[in-house]
């Protein structure tokens, strides 16, 4: 009788465990593949950050490395939008975290629809120190200075020559600028217009607690 009761207890535990873990999120094969690709990108970035001589952990002065921190991958933060160009691009001065002024051009904006509300996300065009032109997105949101870096986060952006091109804006790829890891660097501070009034709970988290 005692053995029978023990067997019933073991079976009950197995059933409960199966129920709990069986109720987790399930994804389509396409989504599973996407999630794995983001995880691989993150693992590769960890390796580069730790070992590359020009990473912010090794280049200017040594900073103790530990794995970068991320929210879980979340496909709810992938958006599609055309780039709405300004007829007269807005040239403005922004500032770096060391207080230095920087010239940039706000060339247009994207429209993100999140939970049935539209949000404007600006796209900037700047020059590197050697004169190369690049585009980028800087933003803050309701996680900024809490779970995420206090200055803000960035997303890389590449212009397509087709004016009707529909861009994919994936916040799972949102990352911290180098100044988030080392005080040796200065990075562009997003403007107040770059604030998105919702919580973007994906992408990179704070490095230093």
- Cα(194)–Cα(144) distance, rounded to whole angstroms? 12
Q: Give the domain ranges of the chain.
A: 29-194
* Spatial contact of 207 and 68, defined as CB atoms under 8 Å apart: yes
pLDDT in tens, 104-158: 999 999 999 999 999 999 999 998 888 899 999 999 999 999 999 999 999 999 9
pLDDT of residue 109: 97
pLDDT of residue 15: 38
Shortest CA distance to 198 belongs to which of 96, 78, 115?
Answer: 115
pLDDT of residue 131: 85
115 burial type by CB count under 10 A (0-12 exposed, 13-18 middle, 19+ buried): exposed
pLDDT of residue 27: 81
For the chain, the first-to-last Cα distance in angstroms comes to 55
Quote the strand ranges of the chain, DSSP E: 78-82, 84-95, 101-114, 117-127, 133-139, 153-157, 166-170
pLDDT of residue 25: 65
% of the chain at pLDDT higher than 90: 79
pLDDT of residue 128: 84
- Intervals of the chain under pLDDT 50: 2-23
pLDDT of residue 14: 38
pLDDT of residue 202: 98
């Amino acid at each position: 009788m005692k053995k029978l009761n023990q067997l019933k207890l073991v079976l009950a535990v197995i059933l409960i465990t199966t129920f709990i873990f069986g109720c987790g999120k399930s994804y389509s094969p396409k989504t599973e593949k996407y999630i794995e690709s983001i995880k691989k990108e993150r693992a590769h970035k960890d390796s580069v950050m730790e070992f590359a001589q020009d990473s912010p952990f090794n280049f200017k002065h040594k900073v103790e490395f530990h794995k970068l921190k991320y929210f879980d991958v979340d496909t709810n933060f992938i958006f599609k939008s055309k780039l709405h160009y300004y007829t007269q691009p807005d040239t403005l001065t922004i500032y770096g975290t060391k207080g230095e002024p920087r010239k940039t051009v706000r060339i247009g904006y994207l429209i993100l629809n999140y939970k049935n509300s539209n949000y404007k996300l600006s796209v900037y065009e700047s020059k590197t120190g050697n004169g190369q032109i690049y585009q980028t997105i800087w933003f803050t949101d309701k996680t900024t200075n809490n779970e995420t870096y206090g200055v803000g986060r960035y997303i890389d952006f590449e212009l397509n020559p087709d004016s009707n091109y529909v861009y994919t804006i994936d916040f799972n790829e949102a990352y911290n600028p180098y100044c988030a890891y080392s005080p040796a660097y200065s990075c562009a501070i997003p403007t107040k217009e770059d604030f998105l009034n919702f919580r973007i709970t994906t992408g990179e988290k704070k490095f230093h607690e």
